[in-house]
Amino acid sequence: MRRGSGQKRFARGILANVAILLALVCCTPAAAGPSIPIRMAAIGDSITAFTDRVGTPTGWSWVRSAATGRVVDAGGFRYWGDDTAQLLAGTRPVDADVIVVMAGTNDIGDGSHPVPTAWTLQNITAIFAKAGVRTKILSAVAPKNAAPAQTSALNARLRELAARSGWSFVDPWASVRAPDGRWIEGTTADGIHPTVWSGATAGLVIRATVLALAQRESLGAR
């Protein structure tokens, strides 16, 4: 009980910070002007997709809360169960102001094999190049209860890749990730996917990142 209460307080603290960030972005002079749409493309697996493989809506996609207000969904390839090679194969050029790539969870699999990090990073770099969107955001992957160490290691490499490539990096899952790298209790549907609430929370973090970039780089003003 004590551990669960601490985790809930931790999550609430992170959410409060997200709310403050959103308020700051929305209240700046640049954001207070004409509401120019910001076209956000998104590429990812089942955590990004709106449906499962047979077309049944899932409800947890972070895109639902990220693409609200000025931020509009510009499309992009999203498919349940795809690893980065499959996402690369499905990616096409997309007309957008900013693109978010959240990929690599399915490269890890069940955690019984080493993470194919170099392969994963090469595929992600190629996904960005193939999509052809100038402003790029690379996202950390969500927790994975069966492979917390591998997921943490991959996220560290993703952060490094973004830094040396000149992309923005965002970790929208910090508020629902326990210190051991697994999901905080109550924030996952099955140990892999978020709940509707935690998916929406991640989307708000990504939306705040997109809005901050829009202010800095005048996205949507062309």
Q: What is the pLDDT of residues 54-84, one digit of tens each?
A: 889 999 999 999 999 999 999 999 999 999 9
**Is residue 26 pLDDT above 90, yes or no?**
no
pLDDT on residue 33? 43
Q: What is the DSSP letter of 141?
A: P
Cα 167 from chain centroid?
Answer: 14
* Residue type present at position 58: T
pLDDT on residue 53? 85
Question: Domain 2-217, what architecture?
Answer: 3-Layer(aba) Sandwich (3.40)
Percentage of the chain lying above the pLDDT 90 cut:
74
Q: Rounded CA gap, 138 and 49, in Å?
A: 16
Q: Residue 180 region, left (φ>0) first, then alpha (ψ -120 to 50), else beta? A: alpha
Q: Residue 218 region, left (φ>0) first, then alpha (ψ -120 to 50), else beta? A: left
For range 162-187, the mean pLDDT: 97
H/E stretch holding 44: strand 38-44
Give me 59's structure tokens.
């409800």
Q: What is the pLDDT of residues 106-129, one digit of tens each?
A: 999 766 767 778 999 999 999 999
For range 91-99, the mean pLDDT: 98
- List CB contacts of 128: < 8 A, sequence separation 6 or more: 99, 101, 136, 138, 165, 167
Other C-beta atoms closer than 10 Å to the C-beta of 179 total 8
- What SS3 class is residue 214? helix
Q: What is the DSSP letter of 175?
A: G
Residue 45 φ/ψ, nearest 5 degrees: -100, -145
Count the helices and strands in the chain (H runs, E runs).
Answer: 7, 5
Residue 183 φ/ψ, nearest 5 degrees: -65, 140
For range 101-106, the mean pLDDT: 96
* Residue type present at position 91: T
pLDDT on residue 222? 54
56, 58, 71, 158, 165 from 137: Cα distances, Å: 28, 24, 14, 11, 11
